[in-house]
Amino acid sequence: MTFTTIALIAAIATLGLGLGFLFSSTFMLKQWGMQAPDEAKVMSRRNGVIYLGLSTLLFLARTNIPTTEAIAIGGATITVLLAISGLYELSGGSVSKGILVSTVVEILITIGFLASLV
């Protein structure tokens, strides 16, 4: 199997996992035989956005764009989605203001990745 093929398969698989964890966290946790308290669902959704970013990176890795650009775009996708997820969880009352430390770091990393593309 070629790298292009396995990267595409992995991109599709991680896209599915990401969407599952992000939008059906209770179902995904129960599939693993786990309880689904709010804390686990928050981490499950954050795991989902990491999978979505990984999917982006894998999809881009199979193209002809330079590896560093694919990594920068994938990394920026992961970190911006984590920041958005953190703000969403904060606005919904699922987490405390302590998440803002992570959110600021994630935004700074996103800016760094995007700046490397210019």
Work out the number of other CB atoms within 10 angstroms of the CB of residue 37.
Answer: 10
d(CA 93, CA 88): 9
Residue 88: pLDDT band with limits 50, 70, 90: very high
**In this predicted model, which residue has the larger pLDDT, 85 or 67?**
85
Looking at residue 64, its pLDDT comes to: 85
Rg (C-alpha) for the chain, rounded Å, is 15
Looking at residue 85, its pLDDT comes to: 97
- What's the average model confidence in pLDDT over 20-47? 95
Looking at residue 41, its pLDDT comes to: 95
- What's the average model confidence in pLDDT over 90-101? 97
d(CA 44, CA 41): 5
Residue 60: pLDDT band with limits 50, 70, 90: very high
Q: Residue 17: is its pLDDT beyond 90?
A: yes
Structure tokens at 68: 């560093």
